[in-house]
């Protein structure tokens, strides 16, 4: 899972990892960092904020859809 939502990252990460030890959570501070992580990792789920610095959530989702 990749999340770009800073204010909920820690509780979200802890919650998912508590119930599944093989589940890893990647965090990105903005859409550009998220796209870099998406290029390097196999991601099954993305949780994103729509308003972020440098690249908003709409642009991130658009970029993801281009790569599918």
In which residue are the tokens 């820690």 written? 10
Q: How far is CA 46 from CA 2, 27, 38, in A?
A: 5, 10, 10
The CA dihedral of 56, 58, 62, 63, to the nearest 10 degrees, is 20
CA 39 centroid distance within chain:
12
The CA dihedral of 50, 61, 41, 34, to the nearest 10 degrees, is -40
Supply the pLDDT for residue 5.
Answer: 60
Supply the pLDDT for residue 43.
Answer: 86
Task: Please check the confidence at residue 4 and state whether its pLDDT lies above 90.
Answer: no
pLDDT digits (tens, 9 = 90+) for 43-60: 888 888 888 888 988 999
Specify the CATH superfamily of domain 2-67.
Answer: Response regulator (3.40.50.2300)
């Amino acid at each position: 899972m990749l999340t770009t939502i800073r204010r909920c990252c820690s509780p979200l990460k802890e919650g998912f990892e508590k119930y599944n030890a093989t589940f890893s959570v990647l965090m990105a501070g903005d859409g550009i960092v998220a796209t870099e992580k998406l290029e390097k990792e196999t991601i099954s789920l993305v949780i994103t904020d729509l308003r972020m610095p440098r690249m908003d959530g709409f642009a991130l989702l658009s970029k993801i859809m281009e790569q599918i």
